[in-house]
A = this chain, B = another copy of it.
Amino acid sequence: MRYLCVVEYDGTNYAGWQIQPNALSIQEVIEETLSKILNNPTKIYGSGRTDAKVHAYGQTFHFDAKEITDLDRFKYSLNKVLPEDIVIKSIERVSDDFNARISAISKTYLYVLNIGEYDPFNRNYVTQCYKEIDLDAIKEASKLFVGKHNFQNFTSKDEDDDNFVREIFNIDIKEEDKIVSFVFEGNGFMRYMIRFIVGTLLQVGLGKLSVNEVKAMIDSKERNISSYKAEPQGLYLLRVNYKKK
């Protein structure tokens, strides 16, 4: 049987989603916990990776196991054993051809910027901006990224790793109480893509890049990766969207 989980995590103390040597990953912690509770070595398949210190409200993964009769009870047991910074929000049975990564039709990410006073209690959950920014200029420039584009200059992904074309459906930018939130929805985001886009937009907000310069970076046929990558702690994977499960 195949199961799909939605998981929320505080990424502060992890080297990211994906299992790696010599560093603790969220995937590793969940696999160990699942394997223990199912009493069987169990691998999980995420919708994609998140970087070190990046958070999630709604990362997803699937796994295969014998039938789990009481899913609520199973979720409760998992959360009892998982560390305090990883919480399974839901678990449901899905069809055998469902795949948390391949079946996803879009993803929604949130990036949070604090343009007010530095707040030590929030230091791992927002990116601090110490300078004044022009939010209108940022909103204006953000429109350039919406649509289908070659994002080769906004990812560190290797050249030979398929192609760089992705579609961003929407970028919604709001400010409330000195907290600026960027919500991105798109059909896929490559490694560091949102952090490069936000980092580049911040340069526009600081008056160091013009809208035309950003346009040139997007339109360029040459690969020349943006030098501006926003910090990881302001980034959250909000939701992975599926058509059917």
Q: Measuring CB to CB, which residues of chain A are less than 8 angstroms from any residue of chain B? A: 8-10, 55, 84-87, 118, 120-121, 123, 125
**Complex formed: what's the CA distance from A87 to B9 in Å?**
27
CA of A86 to CA of B85, assembled, Å: 22
Residues of B within 8 A of A8 (CB): 120
A-B contact pairs, 14 of them (CB 8 A): A8-B120, A9-B120, A10-B120, A10-B121, A10-B123, A55-B121, A84-B120, A84-B123, A85-B120, A85-B123, A86-B120, A87-B118, A87-B120, A121-B125
Copies in the complex: 2
CA distance A120 to B125 in the complex (A): 11
Min CB gap A33→B, angstroms: 15
Across-interface contacts of A120 in B (CB, < 8 A): 8-10, 84-87
Q: Which residue of B lies closest to A125 (CB)?
A: B121
Closest B residue to A12 by CB, please name it.
Answer: B121
| Min CB–CB distance A58 → chain B (angstroms) | 13
Residues of chain B with a CB closer than 8 A to A55's CB = 121
Query: Which of A9, A10, A55 counts the most chain B CB atoms within 10 A?
Result: A10
In the complex, besides A84-B123, A87-B118, A121-B125, 11 extra interface pairs with C-beta distance below 8 angstroms are A8-B120, A9-B120, A10-B120, A10-B121, A10-B123, A55-B121, A84-B120, A85-B120, A85-B123, A86-B120, A87-B120
